[in-house]
Amino acid sequence: MWAGQLLSNLGTQVSLYGLGLWLFQQHGQLSAFAAVAVVVQLAKLASLSLMGRQLDRWPPRRVMLAANGLGSTCTLGLAFTLMMRPATLSPVLLCIGLAAAAEAALVVTWSSQLARFVSTEQLGAASGLFAGSDGAVVMAAPLLGAVLAATAGLPGVLVTDSLTSLIAAACTLLVAWPQSLSAPLTKAAGHEASYQLGVRHALSRLWSNRRWRPLLQINSVVVGVFAAIEIAFPAWVVAASGSQRLILALALAGLGYAGGLWLWARVPRCHWLDWLRIVLLLQAVLLTGAGLVCFQQWQGVWFLAVGLFAAAVPVALGALQSLWLCWVPLALQPRLFVGRYGLEWISRLVALLGMSLLADRVIAPLIRGGYWPAWLLDALGRGPGRPTAMAIGLLGWVLLIPLWRLWRPLGRLHLDENK
């Protein structure tokens, strides 16, 4: 089941990257590339608003099958359209939006079913696989998308995505679902989950709870910071040091990420909160150091920091996913996770748009205009890629300040078994 959804997620991200690259080549504007990410996030949010009230009333197995089927149909139809005649931007974005809406239902349903498939002792490892696979997909998708686009063209990329969705649907069919897991959660929970929640009401319910509020805050910050790093780090390294250093950095990050998955699988349940705070503090310090030019010049330290940051990613994501599954009752997860993922996708959208604006429209003009004192520019650097590096340094503060504010509230919380 997990392998099928991992493969489907990988195919989706590869096709989105390939579509963005194709649109950039067609229109010659970075906004065309960004349009894919913007449409995906907006479609997910819109679908949550429409479907969020009903997800827990539908059998989860049928929801996952329907979502995989709709995603496969959209990408396959777009592939045949592109093979028959040149497509304009509007139908491409429409198909992307429909596929993203299906993905939103799939993500919320699959995430809320995870705690029902595994025992309490296996929850940490299962959460690590669930959350860690998302990060691994993000790291692998650009490379696979570029290779597939170069060898098979965009239609080949889309057909591959369609096939991965069908494989995921087949895996869902092959898994023996007990009757208790196949039934809608509202039916299994009786009247406890009978009220209706949309995105706004789910966020309000999460925010009003003493335990859920700090988790919601730190989760949205972490997701936004990681999304900004996805686009800022490659741009910084290529501009400052060339593509060869980026390849080495990504290879080292892959090794670090694998080490982080290994480490998270061995973190005891009682230490999930402690490890979450420690790794986020480490990442905040590393990001802040990226704004200093000396950090870039010390190659050994720089590569060590890349490996440590990558190793901390699956630990942080695994801890957050585990805490969500522990603290939100099973019967409420489908509807409350609508609010959780809604805020996550808003954070990603803001991060993707804000990071490029910060580096290109704020920091770069300030450097060229000579508004900063010479000693500060000597510490921060003036060469290629420095505006992006400074923006990454500011991301460290974006993570550090909320973490400092929530350090004690998170530390006062206790893990108890989710019934």
Q: What is the tens place of the pLDDT at every residue in 185-196? A: 555 444 444 444
pLDDT tens-digit readout, 275-310: 999 999 999 999 988 766 667 667 888 899 999 999
User: Is 199-412 in the same CATH topology as 2-184?
Assistant: yes
- Please enumerate in sequence order all residues whose Cβ is within 8 A of that of 351, keeping only pairs 6 or more positions apart, or say none: 223, 224, 225, 227, 228
Confidence of residue 58 (pLDDT cuts 50, 70, 90): confident
- Which tokens hold the place of 316? 């942080």
Mapped onto helix, strand or coil, the DSSP state of residue 381 is coil
- Report which of 139, 160, 144, 153 is spatially closest to residue 71, judged by C-alpha positions: 160
Choice among 60-69, 115-124, 326-335 with the minimum mean pLDDT: 115-124
Query: What are the residue ranges spanned by the domains of the chain?
Result: 2-184, 199-412
The answer to whether domain 2-184 has CATH 3.40.50.300 is: no
For 407, residues 6+ apart whose C-beta sits below 8 A from its C-beta are: 277
Q: Using the predicted structure, report yes or no on whether residue 336 has a pLDDT greater than 70.
A: yes
CATH code given to domain 199-412: 1.20.1250
pTM score of the predicted model: 0.75
Task: Specify the pLDDT at position 56.
Answer: 65
The secondary structure of residue 88, as a DSSP letter, is P
- Nearest-angstrom CA–CA distance, 243 and 235: 10
- Residues 76 and 70: their CA atoms lie apart, in Å, by 10
